Amino acid sequence: MNSTESDDQTESDDPPVTYADIERARKRLDDDTVVKETPVERSSSLDEFVGGTVYLKMEHLQWTGSFKPRGAYNKITQDVDRGVDSFVAASAGNHAQGVALAAANCGAEATIFMPKNAPQAKVDATRGYGGSVELVGKDFQETMAHAQAAVEETDAEFVHAYDDPDIIAGQGTLGAEMYHDCPDVDTVVVPIGGGGLISGVSTAIKHLSPETRVVGVQATGAETVHESLDKGMPVVLDEVDTIADGIATGGVSELTLDIIERNVDEIVTVSDTEIAQAILLLMERAKQVVEGAAAASAAAVLSESLDVTDETVMPLLCGGNLDMTQLRTVLIHALTERRQLMRLRVRIDDRPGVLEDISGTIADYGANIHDVRHDRSVDDLDVGEAYLVLNVETSGIEHANGIVDGIEASGYPVEDIARTN
């Protein structure tokens, strides 16, 4: 992957999407009631973590909470001008909202097929923007099949989330914006699901600044690009497993793989734990609430897989539609990883006064017990013994270690089972 043509490409091997396509899309979207220019902010906190200069491109503040209206408007406005008045799409959430909003703005109808496990907030928002929602399929691939079957039975136009040059050109307007926000950027970091976003962004960046490094990020549980590049064809996963539902497509297309191979310099993967930690860090330090797909780019910058020391780097925060239930799950996971939440199991003699003794020790360390239970029906316990299981809130690792040491010093065997399981 590089910014120049490979040896087996010829001058006649034109790219499937050009910067001229992106410029035409910019003119169609030159209305801040359709697509607005989103801000860029320097993050001095992230600077310290990575040893470089970090600018956050905050596309999660776009209409609908993600970049998706860019591509959707670019395609739908052209189709409506050709007489199309009904559209169908498949989406885990963000593309759904972009299509619903674009169609409504153009006076057209949109039916959106979404997975049954799509976040409720994204389902409600899609309906709120005027889309008709059909919940089908256990994952994106299955939902896509339902949507494509529905198109064959109607006169509607299918709006693919990424496998469409007009969609890619629309997303490319974001890349042009990122360059103009920071012309001296050394590295841009872009999440990859189906590849439409990075295809558009990389096309713009490599035209305007060929020396800028373009890095793509995938979640470990939805990684397909490395293998696809190795095999020279898209690889599709049977199942995906990641909290970053916005990039859980399970595969790229031939079109987006072609553009990734032309323009993207590096692909890294990040785990769900790294994504969860990035969500929490962005909330704490940047005061920004983003979804897993967006946090993946920050997670990559923070990871050991990507070195941006002494560079100016721009992670793309591509979406902010984080379901509150998922946010709770992410925060519990991230706080447990930091040991700001502990689940302690203490072996005790089951007699009066023991719980008071242990809770007093924890109180002496200034920690809060969230909840507690007794486990008495456990094989390895002797008669008259029990386990106390306590969920304890701490200020961090040192505080947590002190509490464990204090309980042990009081004569009680204890382990942090949230840490060992």
Comparing CA positions, the residue from 301, 303, 300, 282 lying closest to residue 291 is 282
The yes-or-no verdict on residue 9 having pLDDT over 50 is no
CA–CA separation, 258 vs 15, rounded Å?
Answer: 8
Q: Is the pLDDT of residue 223 over 70?
A: yes
* Burial class of residue 382 in the structure, from the number of CB atoms within 10 Å of its CB (0-12 exposed, 13-18 middle, 19+ buried): exposed
* Domains in the chain with CATH codes: 19-65+169-333 (3.40.50.1100), 69-158 (3.40.50.1100), 339-420 (3.30.70.260)
Give the closest residue to 370 by CA, choosing from 359, 383, 385.
Answer: 359
Q: Contact 134/113 with Cβ under 8 angstroms? A: yes
* Spatial CA neighbour of 42 closest among 57, 64, 59: 57
Beta-strand ranges (E) seen in 39-119 are 40-42, 53-58, 86-90, 109-114
* pLDDT, tens digit (0-9, with 9 covering 90-100), for 284-311: 999 999 999 999 999 999 999 999 999 9
User: Once rounded to an integer, what is the mean pLDDT over residues 89-107?
Assistant: 93
β partners of residue 319: 66
pLDDT exceeds 50 at position 42: yes
* 6 band by pLDDT with thresholds 50, 70 and 90: very low
Q: Which two tokens stand for residue 142?
A: 């299955």
Would the pLDDT of 214 be above 70?
Answer: yes
pLDDT tens-digit readout, 243-281: 998 898 889 999 999 999 999 999 999 999 999 999 999
Please say if the pLDDT value at position 379 is more than 60. Answer: yes
Residue-wise pLDDT for 102-136, tens only, equals 999 999 999 999 989 887 888 999 999 999 999 99
Cβ atoms 251, 226 nearer than 8 A: no
Question: Which pLDDT value is given to residue 45?
Answer: 93
pLDDT value at position 325?
86
pLDDT band, very low/low/confident/very high, at 1 (cuts 50, 70, 90): low
Contact 25, 35 (CB under 8 A): no
| Residue where the block lists tokens 């447990």 | 336
Average pLDDT, the chain: 93
Higher model confidence: residue 380 or residue 69?
69
Q: pLDDT tier at 420 (50, 70, 90 boundaries)? A: low
**Residues listed for the chain:** 421
Q: Any idea which of 22-26, 36-40, 145-149, 302-306 has the lowest mean pLDDT?
A: 145-149
Question: What's the mean pLDDT in 388-402?
Answer: 96
Q: Tell me: pLDDT of 152 over 50.
A: yes
What beta strand segments (E) does 63-115 contain? 86-90, 109-114
Taking the C-alpha atoms of residue 170 and residue 184, their distance in angstroms, rounded to an integer, is 23
Residue 407 has pLDDT above 90, yes or no: yes
Q: How many CB atoms lie within 10 A of CB 178?
A: 26
Helix axes 19-28, 68-81, angle to 10 degrees: 80
Reported pTM: 0.89
Distance separating alpha carbons of residues 183 and 205, to the nearest angstrom: 10
